[in-house]
Structure 1
Amino acid sequence: MTRSLGIAAVAGVMAVGLLTAACGSPRTTNASSDTSTTSSSATATSTTASSAADTGANTASGAKGDGSGGANAANGQCLTGNLKVTAGGGDAGAGHSFIPIVFTNTGSAPCTIAAYPGVSFVTGDDGRQVGDPATRVSASAPTVTLQPGQAASAALSITNPGVYDPAQCKPVAVRGLRVYPPNNTAAAFVPLSGDVQGCSGHVPNQEPLKIKPVVAGANAQ
């Protein structure tokens, strides 16, 4: 990955039948996270760009996840169709880039979001997954209540492929991120601009992508 990531925001949808919201079966670093309940009271911050059509994967008939609003789950859980999924301002250092993945409630009612999103690199017009999905970093995972317009976020760490053995990493250019909001099976595509690469191969005992649980606010670290 180059020095910084220019990220265009947006949430196109992809319904993925029978896939878990973890985008596969990502590993968890250290122990499983604790769960507590909190409520987000901050006003949603402006970290979005204009909406774009999902070009990161095939979209199943009837799927919805463009953040245009609709009903949330009966239990009040935030659904992909009521979330605008974007990438906040990134930071870089020591071979890593850090990006908050932001989930903004675009619905007309409060909803709750908790635990880990599923995140992976994608490439090509068909949204082919690149490499392993993000590994979960063990941390406290609060349940965040989002009022309409409010945001929560999860911190994503991306390791520069250049630090790995190229024979194992097999770096390739990527188009963006496939993001499954926690406990959802419909994903959003977040495009990435600039010269962004990811490992298409498996690097033993390494974690090119790491994700933390969702927390209140748009600036997870």
Structure 2
Amino acid sequence: MRRLVVCGALVLLGSACGSPQQAADTSAIPIAPSTTTSSAGSAAPVPPTSPAPATPVSTRCTAASLAGEVGSVDPGAGNRYATFVVTNTGSAMCTLSGYSGFQLQDGSGQPLPTDLQRTEDPGPSPVTLQPGAKAAANLRWTVVPTGDEPVRGPCESEPAKAAAIPPDETEPMAVAWSFGPVCGGGKIEISAFYPA
């Protein structure tokens, strides 16, 4: 009787009555968690996070990824000036830092007298080469016989090529040489690589 009175009162208030099971089912309905709202009252969207782009890894340039050549030669007072230019022919970027090895050779690849001397202008600094990019090193040598070198005819045997080894590497690349003998016992001054 008391239940009927309570239900009757709820009907008058505009609410529906149901069985105790319906009331239990209603209380079990999950409620969505509240969202953080901005000062304007709307839900603040959370942007999706994406991983940071990977930084390309640069490795040392090797003879296999470089092509080298001695550029045009400028004469001056018994000296010759040129640049040794290397190009990254690989598919990935690489880095040079320091000085190239440079050994003069005859046509059959036998070494000729070479006295390679490093200069500090410019000194060593890392040079990163994208595929197709170039770096250069300055070269200077003399064509004036010194010491007991003959003053008539070639002062030294004439090189046909040079074996150039990139910094911190052991395998050489072949570089053509068509600039005549190098006097002074094959003395060549070379700078560190710089961007070309």
The residue matched to 2:141 in structure 1 has which SS?
Answer: strand
> Percent identity among equivalent residues?
29
Correspondence 1:197 to 2:181: yes
The aligned residue for residue 120 of structure 2 is: 138
In the superposition, relative to structure 1, how do residues 176 and 164 fare at CA in structure 2: closer, same or farther (>3 Å)? farther
2: CA distance, partners of 1:112 / 1:173: 32
2: CA distance, partners of 1:133 / 1:197: 13
Give TM-score, length-normalised by structure 2.
0.62
**Length, aligned pairs only:** 137
In the superposition, relative to structure 1, how do residues 103 and 79 fare at CA in structure 2: closer, same or farther (>3 Å)? same
The aligned residue for residue 23 of structure 2 is: none
The aligned residue for residue 74 of structure 2 is: 91
Name segments (4+ residues, structure 1) moved above 4 Å: 167-170
Bigger Rg over Cα: 2
Q: Cα deviation per residue 1:39-79 (whole Å; 9 max; x = unaligned)?
A: xxxxxxxxxxxxxxxxxxxxxxxxxxxxxxxxxxx861111
Alignment of 1:103-118 (within 5 A): 103-118=86-101
The aligned residue for residue 129 of structure 1 is: 111
2: CA distance, partners of 1:171 / 1:161: 11
Q: Which amino acid aligns with 2:177?
A: L
Alpha-carbon distance, 1:95 to partner: 0.8
Is the Cα contact below 8 Å between 1:119 and 1:133 reproduced in 2? no
Give TM-score, length-normalised by structure 1.
0.56
Alpha-carbon distance, 1:167 to partner: 5.8
Unaligned runs of 5+ residues in structure 2 are: 1-56
The aligned residue for residue 45 of structure 1 is: none
The aligned residue for residue 65 of structure 2 is: 82
Is the Cα contact below 8 Å between 1:130 and 1:198 reproduced in 2? no
The aligned residue for residue 162 of structure 2 is: 177
Q: Cα deviation per residue 1:138-179 (whole Å; 9 max; x = unaligned)?
A: 342110011110000111111114355416995222212221
2: CA distance, partners of 1:161 / 1:144: 34
The aligned residue for residue 162 of structure 1 is: 145
Bigger RCO of structures 1 and 2 (CA < 8 A, at least 6 apart): 1
In the superposition, relative to structure 1, how do residues 94 and 170 fare at CA in structure 2: closer, same or farther (>3 Å)? closer
Q: Cα deviation per residue 1:95-143 (whole Å; 9 max; x = unaligned)?
A: 1111111111111111111100011211141x11111331111342110
Q: How much is the aligned-residue C-alpha RMSD, in angstroms?
A: 2.5
1: CA distance, partners of 2:130 / 2:141: 30
Greater fraction helix: 2
The residue matched to 2:99 in structure 1 has which SS?
Answer: coil
The residue matched to 1:81 in structure 2 has which SS?
Answer: helix
Greater fraction strand: 1
The residue matched to 2:86 in structure 1 has which SS?
Answer: strand
Q: Which amino acid aligns with 1:197?
A: P
